[in-house]
Amino acid sequence: MWFMILDRRCRRQGTQFFFSGLLVLVVIIFGSFLGQAAAASSPDPTEQFRPFLQKVTDVLADPTLKTVPKKEQSQRVINVVRERFDFREMSKRVLGQHWRSLNTQEQAQFEQLFTELLQYAYVGKIDEYTGQQVEFTQQRIKGDRAEVQTLLVDANKSIPISYILILRGTQWMAYDVVVEGVSLVRNYMEQFKEILLKDGYPGLVKQIENKISQLEQQQKQS
């Protein structure tokens, strides 16, 4: 008698297992379809960055660029760079937790200052551009973040440069540049942290302004 009861219970459990198994399978199959659909809808970072970097190198290689004053040179380059660089995200990250303690006006001010700093910091590099080529090595995607790894190839050396991107709608925007393993944002972040600790936000603004005018002076001399 108890054999039959056990047998029936087993069978019932068996069908339960069968149905729950089927349900899991259906969920997995649908899930994978959804996953594929999501992967298909998120654009390829390298495909977006290839024409962009081509545009930047085209601007740098433009022979008329070197005939205009330095300030205009850097302005031309930064205008192209803005297309795929999210300077607000960059400023936010470079300040870390401190960003939240700034009001909207201060945030906008900092974003502008930091962008200007980068503009002056890299305008010196414009002269150094002698037709180096960009090679795309690989990319990684993790959710709405991606890394596009490139090599800047020169005649006798190649420098690994990675772009760290965030997905904004359908556009991948860069918020960090990693040169030979050193992240620009993280490097400035640690320096800014010390300044913020010592002199607070006004002190930092003052130091960035000083640096910009110092770099401006250097460029006028050269």
Partner 1 sequence: MQPKPIFALLLRCCLMLCVSFLIGGGNAAANDFLSDDAYANGETAQVADPIEPVNRAIFTLNDKFYIWVLDPVATGYSKVLPADIRGCIGNFFYNLGEPVRSVNCLLQGRFRDSGLVLSRFALNTICGVFGLADTAAHEFAIPPISATLGETLATWGIGDGFYVVAPLLGPSTVRDLTGTVVDSLAMASYYPWSDDELSPYTLTGVNTVNRTSLHLGEYDQLKSLSFDPYIAFRNGYFQMRSKTRNHSQTK
Residues in the interface with partner 1 (CB under 8 A) total 37
Q: Is 183 in the site for partner 1 (CB under 8 A)?
A: yes
Alpha-carbon distance values, 205 to 156, 166, 183, 199 (Å): 40, 27, 22, 10
CB-nearer residue toward partner 1: 55 or 149: 149
Let me know if 100 is exposed, middle or buried by CB neighbors in 10 A (0-12, 13-18, 19+): exposed
Residue 220 as a binder of partner 1 (CB under 8 A): the answer is no
Stretch binding partner 1 (CB under 8 A), from 1-9, 33-41, 99-107, 151-159: 151-159
Q: 3-state DSSP call for residue 44?
A: coil
Question: Cα separation of 94 and 109, whole Å?
Answer: 14
* Residue linked to tokens 């037709």: 131
Residue 40 half-sphere exposure, CB side, CA atoms within 13 Å?
6
Residue 97 in the binding site for partner 1 (CB under 8 A):
yes
43 binds partner 1 (CB under 8 A): no
**Contacts of partner 1 in 19-38 (CB under 8 A):** none
Closest approach, Cβ 91 to partner 1, in A, equals 12
Give me the residues that bind partner 1 (CB under 8 A), please: 93, 96-97, 121, 124, 140, 142, 145-147, 155-157, 162, 164, 176, 178, 180-183, 185-195, 207-208, 211, 215, 218
